[in-house]
Amino acid sequence: MAVHGTGPYDPDNIFAKILRGDIPCKKVFENEWVLAFHDIAPKAPVHVLIIPKKAYVSFIDFSKNASAEEIAGVMQSAGRIAADLHLEDAGYRLITNAGQNAGQEVPHFHLHLMGGKALPAFPA
Ligand code: 5GP
């Protein structure tokens, strides 16, 4: 079920549990800014979720409340992950869903990195 893209942050959402290590994930990458792991229901051969380690509900929450250093850290990490997964030549999609109209299911800001095939015409 889609969630509202506004706060307050729910510390018991599924990605908060993954960050705490309460439930497992298939980790792709981790640094001081992000954890990246395979989506449990992939929509493409490569479907990785990139989540900030800090608690933000949505992109607007992240853009308003994260420091410039953190925003740069998260975005540079996303670029590095896409490059490490060799997605650059063939292409990839990097999106975020926010709130009900976008069908956001998990109320912890995240980027979807998808590739490995020709993706459906946008929006997918
Ligand atoms: P949203 O719709 O919020 O943008 O995307 C949430 C994504 O999280 C979905 O693609 C869904 O498959 C994925 N997801 C939900 N629960 C889990 C989980 O427990 N583990 C992993 N790895 N992905 C999950």
Tens-digit pLDDT profile for residues 1-12: 788 778 799 999
Q: Which of 4, 14, 48 to mutate to test the pocket of ligand 1 (most atoms within 8 A of CB)?
A: 14
Nearest atom (ligand 1) to Cα of 97: 4
Enter the DSSP assignment of 86. Answer: T
Local structure of 29: helix, strand or coil: strand
Which of the residues are catalytic?
Answer: 110
Between residues 6 and 101, the one the model is more confident about? 101
37 Cβ inside 6 Å of ligand 1:
yes
Total Cβ atoms within 10 A of residue 9: 16
What digits encode the pLDDT tens for the residues 1-55?
788 778 799 999 999 999 999 999 999 999 999 999 999 999 999 999 999 999 9
pTM value?
Answer: 0.97
Local structure of 40: helix, strand or coil: coil
Report which of 29, 98, 16, 94 is spatially closest to residue 64, judged by C-alpha positions.
98
Instruction: State the chain's mean pLDDT as an integer.
Output: 96
Q: Alpha carbon 74 to chain centroid distance?
A: 10
Report which of 103, 124, 102 is spatially closest to residue 47, judged by C-alpha positions.
124
